[in-house]
Structure 1
Amino acid sequence: MSHCQLPEDMLVDSLSPMALTLEAVLVDSPDTIEMDASLLEHVDTAGMQLLYAFARDARRDGKTLVWHGLNPQIVDAARLLGMSGMLAMTGH
């Protein structure tokens, strides 16, 4: 099991380092990836798209995402953008 701590902000102008981190987590994770969103407060559409692409690639590779510390606004954003199914955010 791998662990990934999301930053406080996932905004278009600061996503490059997070994209590299997520790529490394995807490669290094054997099967389950624990996503810690407890610090995440601000996310724009680009940030949501990055999380969506990560979840899609994880699913493609047979890996499971387990979310912790989700902010209700992030869960709502995923729902409004039609990403809830792929992201499997349940509001833990």
Structure 2
Amino acid sequence: MAKKSSKDATLAPLALDADLRIAAAPALRDTLLKALAAGDAVELDGTAVAQVDTAALQLLAAFSRDARAAGLSVTWTGASDSLQRGVAVLGLNSLIELPARAGVN
């Protein structure tokens, strides 16, 4: 997971790893909790995600819900096809709010 500093003037997007399956869930959870604790808007980059499972998607959904409840915005710089499919299959579009795919209305 990429690290970000809450003191940076412009925060770099938090880049998600290529493998977001259950073995990566503890590290993903820690990273997302730190981002939430920083109290800043969060920008996620999911373009490198090649493999994702329900555990990681549940973490992303809970993080998005908790961030919004705390008044923090969560935006995405991009999302891989694998991430888009996983979110769609589980019906998490309204929680995770990935960016629209190019050419899709």
Secondary structure of 2:64's counterpart equals: helix
Alignment counterpart, residue 81 of structure 1, candidates 82, 87, 90: 90
**Poorly superposed stretches of 4+, deviation over 6 Å:** none
Secondary structure of 1:85's counterpart equals: helix
- The equivalent of 2:28 in structure 1 is 18
Alignment counterpart, residue 49 of structure 1, candidates 48, 51, 58: 58
* Distance in 2 between residues matched to 1:40 and 1:80, nearest whole Å: 16
Secondary structure of 2:79's counterpart equals: coil
Letter in 2 for 1:55: S
Cα deviation for residue 60 of structure 1 reads 0.8
Relative to the length of structure 1, the TM-score reads 0.87
Relative to the length of structure 2, the TM-score reads 0.77
Cα deviation for residue 69 of structure 1 reads 2.4
CA RMSD of aligned residues (A): 1.6
- The equivalent of 1:38 in structure 2 is 47
Structure index of larger Rg: 2
Letter in 2 for 1:7: D
- The equivalent of 1:7 in structure 2 is 17
Gaps of 5+ in 2: 1-9
Cα deviation for residue 73 of structure 1 reads 2.9
* Distance in 2 between residues matched to 1:91 and 1:74, nearest whole Å: 12
Letter in 2 for 1:15: A
* Distance in 2 between residues matched to 1:71 and 1:17, nearest whole Å: 20
Higher relative contact order (CA 8 A, sep 6+): 1
Cα deviation for residue 44 of structure 1 reads 0.5
